[in-house]
Structure 1
Amino acid sequence: MKLCIIGTGYVGLVTGSCLADVGNQVWCVDKDAKKVDCLRNHRIPIYEPGLEEIVKRNSVEERLFFTTDLKRGLAEAEICFICVDTPPDEKGKADLSNVLAVAKQLGELIDTPKIVVTKSTVPVGTTLRVKAVIAEELKKRGLDADAFISVANNPEFLKEGAAVQDFMKPDRVVVGVEKKEVGEKLHKLYTPFMLKQDRFLQMDIASSELTKYAANSMLATRISFMNELARLCEVVGADISAIRRGIGSDPRIGSDFLYAGLGYGGSCFPKDMKALVQLGKEYDVSLSVVETADKANDEQRKWFWNKIVKNFGGMKQLAGKKVAVWGLAFKAETDDVRFAPSLDLIRNLLEAGAKVTAYDPAAEESAKAALSDLASRVEWCHTAYQCVENADALLVCTEWREFRSPDFAKIKQLMKSPTVFDGRLLYDSTALAALGFAVTTIGK
């Protein structure tokens, strides 16, 4: 098929390149000329394992193209995917200005029948709003919307750090449609990814839109529950890791998303939780579980920071101390630092007058951009061991593989004070204590 992807962020770039990899002709459109130029030269602007190879292969084999010209991207497309950002506004509601701006452009340009698919995470009713905006522009041009456009919603369920694998081997493909024939067309498009088992779930558009928010909110709620339980463990003498194994072995619960830590971050969970709460308020429906889970995440970050302050004997005692931070991305295998707990900690440390060194194998540049003017006050390191030299404490904020089994004997020699705050439950605190480390962990 011939496809147009609008937006080349995580979702758009993975969607476009993976669809091209099974033989489709794909035009990816983005208004950022610098980004498009990089992509044309096979340089991707994000860290995502396996993605650069797919982009390069399909570009070289002339199945994947990049342009800033939406008219060119649309020219031969049968299906157009809207993959632009929907950031939260000041109240947490999804900002749909990017999506609706694209819809207006589509209405101004479409001159052959298209299926327009919202793949951006959008509140219930957005896909039909997109249809209405396109129809209004078509009407201005004397064209019949029913003859030129059909719409669908197709939410993504990609995990950053495993997005290519998730797309190539989906556990489900959710599609919301108005017309049966649109569903059949999209089923055909996704069939190459479901050869062993058909995982295509067709439903109405509203249900499809809400499924995305429901999935992310369910996963985030599990994390917040475990974090709250971890706090209880610390005061009653229980071990959150043992409890995780105990409840995770129940097939009704499962073991995924049961790891206590610093709190969730990233581009999806914080944004989607708040957007779902706001959607409920619009319809006078209280989503108290979701709202509480989101607040619990904020509390978890503050709670861990308070553990650090208490360990040093108060905020004033942090002044002049050198604190090493391992991990800047909100999770391993990505360079995404949006809502990353590490950045909150760095800001707090700098405000307290501490000296901060930081290391991440992929997210340094993203972190510098996010910290803005504060970035110049951080010492950015090239290795994990360089980061801990003469440090008074080490904060472990991301579960990168290289942090899982470091040489702690070497680390002890390098540090001024062998103090570790294990924010990801990576280490055996008893074993570290035997080596002479003071260890602060979570849920023990």
Structure 2
Amino acid sequence: MSDAELRAAVERELPGVRADLERLVRIPGIAFEGFDHSHVERSAEAVAELLRGCSLEVTIVAAGGQPAVIGRRAAPPGAPTVLLYAHHDVQPVGDLSQWESDPFEPVERDGRLYGRGAADDKAGIMAHVAALRAFGDALPVGVVLFVEGEEEYGSESLERLLAEHRDELAADVIVIADSANWDVGVPALTTSLRGIVNCFVEVRTLDQAVHSGLFGGAVPDALTALSRLLATLHDDAGDVAVAGLTSGDEATVDYPSDRFRAEAGLLDGVRLIGTGRITDRIWTRPSVAVVGIDAPATGAAPNALVPAAKAKLNVRLAPGDDPKRAYDALRTHLEAHAPWGARVEVTLEQDGDSCVIDASGPMFEAARSAFRTAWDGTDPVDIGLGGSIPFIADFQRLFPEAAILITGVEDPYAQAHGPNESLHLAEFARVCLAEALLLSRVAARPVG
């Protein structure tokens, strides 16, 4: 099919694609503990039905975790096979009072579709489906769709799934639709992602709470000790001060400060932390954030010295850094900086590999050509991403010869993981066209 024919075919399919996306958004498929996992199973069944509608052979699989969906359609003679990845599970919604509408009832406002999973990552699923529907019976490549069911919960069983179904998933090109574009109107290929370490640090100073008047001033309370310990993680400029955490190569593009502040929702008067270019701070250097603290709630706190306090740390690692070594460095720092002899215990919750992609070769040029056409002549930007997709390292290890293209439907205003998550509908249409064009261009290029 010509580019013009594909454009017309995608436009024809978009109303149905949007309707099916809204049906997926209505399913609260959350893989976290404590949630009703029957919704994740229902989500997998809905995805399977969509893939069967594209004439794929479909199976629902699991390896001790939540269900994933595999759909296959054989390649025409001599044509390459493309693996299309997305995930159907979603993040919890958090504080419902922060949502302007029901997170599981999609609604359009100002050209954006609001709802949990509307961008991350049910739109990724539907971009794949849109491309397949546009081609119909004339699909020029083989495809394998792999739609995971627990990505937001850490992909704990993914490595086992990939190993068990390696032959079914083998492909010449892998398209992972779980990233973002540089801006509304500017497409991107993601070429690096940071690694991750999540851990808990607990500080103890007493065997029980004691009267703050009788003992305060001589006995350290654990919450103050924890606060002082957490303050050692950064220097005065806000750069990470943990010896042993590495930095990667400098980024090749910059991020205008005013745009970055607006997209982050930074309050007036609040300064950015760290030094150097913003893209280096968020793409190629480590970061440490305190994402939770266990301590008495203020409304019920007695006038007593707190005996123990606990924090959860989220550490993002520079591309290329090793998460096991980084965790050891963090634990060493925390134990060495224990204030006033407080007892410090550090425990690992989760870690994940970083990712670096060599975005050269014919398949990457095919992607750039497809993006340029879909965005009406706008060149795509090679970007890093401060977030983490650790399973990409599994794909790299199991399929070393495959070109891995990290794409996505999100834009800087999508609010993925936050309240009022949304999808820019005009950008989504471009993403769908770009994927159809990509499959067409991949079919025309030599494999290897």
Same fold (TM over 0.5): no
- Greater strand percent: which structure? 2
TM-score interval, normalised by the smaller of the two chains: under 0.3
TM-score (norm 1): 0.23
- Greater helix percent: which structure? 1
Q: Using CA pairs under 8 Å that are at least 6 residues apart, name the structure with larger relative contact order, 1 or 2.
A: 2
